Amino acid sequence: MSKHHWVVDFETYYNCTVLCVEHYTLNIKKNFVISRVKNDIVRLYEFLEGNIKNKEWHIGYNSLVFDSQITQYILLQKEAFLKGDPELVANMIYMKAQEIIDKQNMGEWPEFSEKKLKIKNIDLYKVNHWDGMAKRSSLKWLEYSIDWYNIQEMPIHHAKMIETREQVDEIVKYCFNDTGATKEILRLSTEQIRLRKFLTEEYNINLYNASEPRISREIFAILLSDNLGIDKYELKGMRTHRDYIPVEPLILPYIKFILPEFKETHEAFKSLVVNASNMKGVFKHTMHHKGAKTDFGLGGLHGTNRPGEYEARDGMIIITSDVKSFYPNLIINNQWSPAHLPKEAFCDLYRWFYDERVKIPKKDPRNYVYKIILNAIYGQSNEENSFFYDPELMLRVTVNGQLSLMLLFEMLSIGIPGCTPMMLNTDGLEMMIPAHYKDKYMEICKEWEKITSLELEHDEYQKMFIADVNSYIAVFKYREVSKEEFDKLKKKYPEHLFKEENGKFFYAGVKCKGRLEWEPQDAKEVGVLHKNKSALIVPKAVYQYFLHNKLPEEYLLTNRNILDYCLGAKVKGDWSFFSNSYNLTAVNGVVTPTKLQKVIRYYKSTIGVKIVKQNLMDGRTIALEASPNSYETVLNIYQQNKFENYFVDEKYYLARIYDEIENIRSLKDQKQPKLF
Average pLDDT of the residues in 417-444: 95
- Across 339-427, where does the E strand assignment appear? 420-425
Contact 576, 612 (CB under 8 A): no
- Across 565-651, where does the E strand assignment appear? 567-570, 575-579, 585-587, 590-592, 594-595, 599-605, 611-615, 621-623, 631-634
Which residues have CB under 8 Å from 476's CB, separation 6+?
Answer: 459, 460, 461, 462, 508, 509, 510, 511
Residue type, 476: F
Closest CA to 85 of 18, 32, 16: 16
What is the fold, at CATH topology level, of the domain defined by 6-209? Nucleotidyltransferase; domain 5 (3.30.420)
Query: pLDDT by residue (tens digit) across 29-70?
Result: 999 999 999 999 999 999 999 999 999 999 999 999 999 999
Query: pLDDT by residue (tens digit) across 192-211?
Result: 999 999 999 999 999 999 99
Q: Is 231 exposed, middle or buried (0-12, 13-18, 19+ CB in 10 A)?
A: exposed
554 vs 654: CA distance, rounded Å: 11
Is a pLDDT exceeding 60 seen at residue 133? yes
Closest CA to 331 of 387, 268, 395: 395
Query: pLDDT by residue (tens digit) across 622-664?
Result: 999 887 778 999 999 998 999 999 999 999 999 999 999 999 9
Contact 335, 453 (CB under 8 A): no
Task: Give Dmax (Cα) for the chain.
Answer: 88
**Helix, strand, coil % over all residues of the chain, rounded to 5:** 40, 20, 35
Strand partners, 632: 604, 609
Closest CA to 16 of 96, 101, 95, 91: 91
Q: What are phi and psi of 228, to 5 degrees?
A: -90, -15
Which residues have CB under 8 Å from 382's CB, separation 6+?
Answer: 279, 389, 391, 394
**Residue 508: per-residue pLDDT:** 87
Query: pLDDT by residue (tens digit) across 145-191?
Result: 999 999 999 999 999 999 999 999 999 999 999 999 999 999 999 99
Closest CA to 20 of 1, 42, 47, 2: 47
Per-domain boundaries in the chain? 6-209, 244-477, 478-516, 527-566+635-676
What percentage of the chain carries pLDDT values higher than 70?
Answer: 96
What is the fold, at CATH topology level, of the domain defined by 244-477? Palm domain of DNA polymerase (3.90.1600)
Contact 644, 557 (CB under 8 A): no
74 vs 87: CA distance, rounded Å: 14
**Residue 278: per-residue pLDDT:** 86
426 vs 286: CA distance, rounded Å: 15
Closest CA to 211 of 145, 283, 133, 95: 133
**Residue 675: per-residue pLDDT:** 30
Number of residues in the chain? 676
Half-sphere exposure of 8 (CA within 13 A, CB side): 29
Q: What are phi and psi of 416, to 5 degrees?
A: -125, 100
pTM as predicted? 0.91
282 vs 275: CA distance, rounded Å: 9
**Residue 362: per-residue pLDDT:** 84
Residue type, 462: Q
Closest CA to 122 of 67, 177, 174, 175: 67
